[in-house]
Amino acid sequence: MKFSGTNVLITGASRGIGAQIAKILASYGLKVWINYRSGADEALKVKEEIEAAGGKAAVIQADVTKEEEFVAAVKVIVESDGELAYLVNNAGITKDKLALRMSVDDFTDVITANLTSAFIGCKEALKTMSKKKFGSVVNISSIVGEMGNPGQTNYSASKGGLNAMTKSFAKEAASRGIRYNAVTPGFIQTDMTHELKEEVKAEYEKNIPLKRFGNPSEVAEAVAFLLSDSSSYITGEVLKVNGGLYV
Ligand code: NAP
């Protein structure tokens, strides 16, 4: 895959899907900025693995729910590399509970972590990428934002909002040469799904046409495509990576 830009920031890349996105984008020749909130050792491990494979990587700490920290991180990158060509808004959390037991704080915490943080990133990307009239952003959403899920009213609202926000940014930014897309993974093997009980996992697997959970690398390859020159005429798209669970 060909990339006209040189670097990428991936939020929440110390583990899980974000870490795999970092490794795959580095393998395509991009310098990757691995953002983490608290997992400094894990982020350094990802950096070392990339460098051992001959790639370029740097780590950058920021809690992306805090506007001043996210903005400062983007500033550091632009000062260091002269540009931010690509952004992947991947950081996300769950706080699952049935709606009747969910507090307003449980609801807004997830909206802030999954949607407001991505708004800050999309806006900063628009500002800095406008200067070069080039850039591409991918937001990591979820199948749950498309089909809903019991116990996840907060999470589904955050991801449904992220899909809609991606389309609005795509329309605002197209004239500046910047593309915005989202991917909606189904069930992927990471710490987030590790918490599910075995019987619950088995029940989900029964309903997935491809009969298994996905791997982080299967999401990462879709992200690479949407960032790359290969998708130059695609913007405002929400790409499903779900093994056929929701079509
Ligand atoms: P994960 O294994 O729990 O990793 C989450 C990552 O996000 C961690 O690196 C964490 O860093 C970081 N993070 C959380 N809040 C942050 C903040 N405020 N600032 C900076 N970093 C923050 O999750 P995952 O499964 O890889 O999920 C990644 C993305 O994919 C999420 O947006 C999730 O909603 C989405 N997704 C996952 C699945 C799935 O099945 N796993 C399915 C659909 C969508 P720290 O450890 O430093 O906090």
- CA 175, 233, 227, 168 torsion-angle sign: positive
Q: In this predicted structure, what is the pLDDT of residue 48? A: 98
| pLDDT tens by residue, 8-67 | 999 999 999 999 999 999 999 999 999 999 999 999 999 999 999 999 999 999 999 999
Ligand 1 contact, 40 CB (< 6 A): no
Point out the catalytic residue in the list 28, 155, 204, 233: 155
Q: In this predicted structure, what is the pLDDT of residue 196? A: 84
Distance CA 4, CA 22 (A): 17
Q: In this predicted structure, what is the pLDDT of residue 146? A: 98
Q: Taking Cα atoms as reference points, which of 211, 220, 153 lies closest to residue 185?
A: 220
Q: How far is CA 119 from the centre of its chain?
A: 12
Q: In this predicted structure, what is the pLDDT of residue 191? A: 85
Ligand 1 contact, 76 CB (< 6 A): no
Ligand 1 contact, 154 CB (< 6 A): no
CATH architecture of 7-241: 3-Layer(aba) Sandwich (3.40)
Predicted model pTM: 0.98
**Residues in the chain where the model's pLDDT stays below 70:** none
Q: In this predicted structure, what is the pLDDT of residue 245? A: 96
Q: In this predicted structure, what is the pLDDT of residue 194? A: 84
Domain ranges of the chain: 7-241
Distance CA 189, CA 16 (A): 8
